Chain A
Amino acid sequence: MSGIHRSVEARAALWFVAPALLLIAAFFVLPVFMGAALSLTDFDLYTIADWRALRTIGVRNFTETLSSPLFRTAIRNTVWFAVLALPLTLTVSLSLALMLNESSLRGAAFFRTVFFAPFVTTIVAVAVVFRAVYHAEYGLANWALGVIGVAPRDWLGDPVWAMPALVLLRVWKSFGYYTLILLAGLQTIPRELYDAARLDGASPWQRLRAVTIPGLRPSLLFVGTIALIDALQLFAEPYIMTRGGPARATTSVVLVMYEEGFRWWRMGSGAAIAVLLFLILLTVTFGQRWLERRWRLA
């Protein structure tokens, strides 16, 4: 009796989730497989004109992409961006979370809102403002440097400084979100642990290392993973602010993918880059999981 009952229930449940599953299949699973299939073809302009011009070319898109100097530049740039952005984001958001967590701080709710504002502002509006901030002659950034006696620079026109400029923009735009997650993590750490540490005579620095960081480990790992994936998917900032320049210094992997696919209309090769990026992200995420496990055992 109960068995029949359960199967009826299961069938009902299936009907309830069916619409969602169908949508996921149509708009997520199917495109992923189509993209993977596309990466093995030479889908391009001539294919749009005439379907008979489509050839399956095996892994040629992959070998050509991997051997292209532009793709290697893009990988280098993207890794450089992540290397700069990740520690900076973590430091800034952790410091601010600690600050907001101090019960002595007045107006914490106000700051929480203010810090979150950049995250919910659209990137296009932010980019327009930052272009003004980074202006070589009239920009706020150069004015600030002038105040502390540092020579001005052409932030977005200089191949050396363009990427750091985009990193600062990214950190400013995203720290609010990470601060909020870390703050939530901080509030799960029991007060008693701090009191006990204080009784044992632990300095603030020791309390941070022995109580806060271990207690915050899951949140930190989550923030680290998300921020890293986000950094490796760098696109909007260079697309709007620099178009990949100057001298390709801000050309990211996703920007190359976009240009291959939608500027030069070489969909096959664009799809191959997407697959490569997917593999990179997968490896990085698994690498982090592995580190996490080791950290937990230690």
Chain B
Amino acid sequence: MIGWRRASLWCALLWVAACGPADSVTELRVWGIGREGEVLRELVPAFEREHPGVRVRVQQIPWSAAHEKLLTAHVGDVLPDVAQMGNSWLPEFAALHALQPLDALLAESTTLRRELFFDGVWATNVIDQRVVGVPWYVDTRLLFYRRDLLTAAGWPQPPRTWSEWRRAMEAVRQTSAGTRYGAFLPVNEFEHPVVLGLQAGAPMVDVQRNRGAFRDSTFRKAFAFYTGLFRDSLIPALGNNEIGNLYQEFARGRFVFLVTGPWNLGEMARRLPDSLQSAWATAPMPAPDSSGVGHSTAGGSSLVVFRHSRHQKLAWQFVEYLSRPSVQLDFYRLTGDLPARTDAWRDGQLDREPRLRAFFEQLRHVRAVPLVPEWETIASRLIDQTERVVRGGVSIDSALAALDRDVDRLLEKRRWLAEQVAR
């Protein structure tokens, strides 16, 4: 009898001990990727101070494993409440119904409005007319160039059109007696033909019919321009792993132009010798012709709230907090990642700095790649075909035909699904 009473007393004690503290603290689970995930931790305390009783647990995952980890976590139903997600993955996770549509929350929000963000970047967060993410930081590609070498070749101003760009590269080749290349655009990066395709207004994928559209005259024109640069030896036919040290080669003047992203602002400042620090500059992408604007890709990461999260409201508040201009600027200072909100740029006077201003200009002219989950596979096939043209001597038309055949095969499932829905 006594034993029974003692046991029940112990049980009661254990129960109190187990449940007591857990009731008063709400835990918000957040996943950040790479360096951003690390820095995210430093931004958390201010949010926790504003929300007593909330503990934000940040887990950092490396970029190389992030995609697989998010997918397997979705399948295993262990996704966190909030996560950073590369915006090219949004279509995939929207197709999985993993993301919470944010339209209703946005409509009620007093601090977040669509107009505050770069247009093209916002568009990548709208899948099937629903907002599934809020841009966190943005990423695009534009010209990095050696101003000294370009001026020496007779071009004091960066080129504004494709034909100017080509002529500038030819001038570099000629004035250096072939020792310098015009540019280095790694053959194994799909971004370059994609940027040029976006500029030409190429759809690349017909998302209505779910078929490849690389044979379209718009993309063909861009692809012919791009591969022509290799054919005429204005660009070396090398991949990014065949160049050795990119920064050393840039410093040595092996090439004058690079098309790359904001992370290289910091890298160039760190790795180029002091004597060259005033010799390199950035400029928006040249346009196909003098009437247009040179567009580029709308990359970056978004913040998403997962559908299965039990703390939807709190998760949204965390997203709102990270999107505040002041927090965006803190984040920029910690990482060098460019803010997604235009008012953060103005507040921080980021658009005053010449090299950053080129990015600000470019970000107002960015376009989304086709928003289908298969895009990354399609892009990897584009590299294969580009290499066949540049290194294998295959004709442009047969390479693009092969690419469209490949893409049609990859999108067969989408066509079938669309048919099922129509029925």
Give A contacts to B, CB under 8 Å: 42, 44-46, 48-49, 53, 55, 64, 69-70, 136-137, 154, 156-158, 245-248, 262-265
Contact = CB atoms under 8 A, between A and B. Distances in A.
Contact of B95 (A42, A49, A70, A136): A49
Closest 8 CB pairs of A and B: A157-B241, A49-B96, A246-B241, A157-B242, A264-B377, A246-B239, A49-B97, A262-B68
A137 B384 contact: no
Given A245-B241, A247-B188, A46 B417 contact: yes
A53 B417 contact: yes
Interface in B53-70: 67-68
16 contacts: A42-B413, A44-B413, A46-B413, A49-B96, A53-B417, A64-B409, A137-B245, A154-B242, A157-B239, A157-B241, A158-B242, A245-B188, A245-B241, A246-B239, A247-B391, A262-B68
B74 interface: yes
A137 B92 contact: no
Contacts of A262: 68, 71
B21 interface: no
A91 B411 CA distance: 49
Interface of B: 67-68, 71, 74-75, 92, 95-97, 188, 239, 241-242, 244-245, 373, 376-377, 384, 387, 391, 409, 413-414, 416-417
Contacts of A246: 188, 239, 241-242
Contacts of B67: 263
Contacts of B244: 136-137, 154, 157
Nearest to A242: B241
Contacts of B241: 156-157, 245-246
A247 B387 CA distance: 8
A183 to B, nearest CB: 40
Contacts, number: 52
Contact of A263 (B68, B96, B242): B68
Given A55-B416, A246-B239, A262-B68, 13 more contacts: A42-B413, A45-B96, A46-B413, A48-B96, A49-B97, A64-B409, A70-B384, A136-B244, A246-B241, A247-B387, A247-B391, A248-B384, A265-B71
A132 to B, nearest CB: 15
A156 to B, nearest CB: 7
Contacts of A55: 416
Nearest to B377: A264
Contact of A247 (B71, B97, B239, B376): B239
A184 B230 CA distance: 58
A165 to B, nearest CB: 13
Contacts of A64: 409
B373 A45 contact: yes
A64 B384 CA distance: 17
A48 B94 CA distance: 12
Nearest to B98: A49
Contacts of A245: 188, 239, 241
A87 to B, nearest CB: 29
A136 B244 CA distance: 7
Contacts of A247: 188, 239, 387, 391
Contacts of B376: 264
A64 B75 CA distance: 27
A206 to B, nearest CB: 50
Given A49-B96, A154-B242, A156-B241, A69 B413 contact: no
A64 to B, nearest CB: 7
B95 to A, nearest CB: 6
A45 B95 contact: yes
B189 to A, nearest CB: 12
Contacts of B74: 48
Contacts of B377: 264
A49 to B, nearest CB: 5
Nearest to B187: A247
Contacts of A263: 67-68
A55 B416 CA distance: 10
A46 B74 CA distance: 13
A262 B66 CA distance: 12
A261 to B, nearest CB: 10
Nearest to B243: A157
A131 to B, nearest CB: 12
Contacts of A69: 384
B188 A46 contact: no
A245 B187 CA distance: 12
A22 B84 CA distance: 42
A69 B406 CA distance: 11
A137 B67 CA distance: 32
A29 to B, nearest CB: 23
Contacts of A44: 413
A246 B95 CA distance: 32
B346 to A, nearest CB: 40
Contacts of B95: 45-46, 49
A238 to B, nearest CB: 13
Contacts of B413: 42, 44, 46, 53
